[in-house]
Amino acid sequence: MCYLFYITSKDIVNRFNKYLKRYDISFPNYIVLLYIENEIPVYIKTLCDELYLDSGTISPIIREKELIRRLRTEDDERRVVITTKGIKLKEEFSKISEEVIQQFDMEKEDSLAYYRILRTFAEKISILKMMVSNFRNESYI
């Protein structure tokens, strides 16, 4: 099963990268843009935790691509918000997922079933992450 997850994810990322090459961005850049809602600030730590990225992946998006920008608040917590350039690019991305999925020539029902299974795995991972986080915060550790 692990092998199937691995080769499937690699193939899907490669297919996305063919489209993203036109925009000169990487798959992690793409995922960050999809995650950030328009005009809603997100903590950099949240991006890193939720998307399994390190801050070194997010920093170039801020510095070089100017797709997101840092916001400094009074308590100096670092947050980012998508820029106008990022919003425009994100709008152009709306069809990429559909085009990649169509390449697999799957029936709509099969595609939805696959989505539901992946969603269930993602939810289980989130629950496990939360449990581990809560365990680490216990005073007896």
Question: Whats the size of the chain, residue-wise?
Answer: 141
In this structure, is the dihedral angle defined by the CA atoms of residues 99, 100, 103 and 106, taken in order, positive or negative? Answer: negative
Predicted local distance difference test score (pLDDT) of residue 141: 39
* 115: in domain: no
* 110: in domain: no
**How many domains in the chain?**
1
Q: CA-to-CA distance for 5 and 103, rounded, in angstroms?
A: 18
Q: CA-to-CA distance for 77 and 95, rounded, in angstroms?
A: 34
Q: What is the mean pLDDT of each run of 10 residues along the chain (141 residues)?
A: 91 94 90 84 87 84 83 77 90 85 88 88 79 50 39
Predicted local distance difference test score (pLDDT) of residue 70: 86
* 76: in domain: yes
Nearest to 73 by CA among 43, 45, 53, 37: 43
pTM (whole model) above 0.95 = no
* 139: in domain: no
Radius of gyration of the chain (CA): 17
* 120: in domain: no
Can you count the helices (H) and strands (E) in the chain? Answer: 7, 3
- The CATH number of the domain holding residue 91 is 1.10.10.10
* 137: in domain: no
Q: Which residues lie closer than 8 Å to 43 by C-beta, 6 or more apart?
A: 77, 78, 79
Domain span at residue 91 reads 2-105
* 140: in domain: no
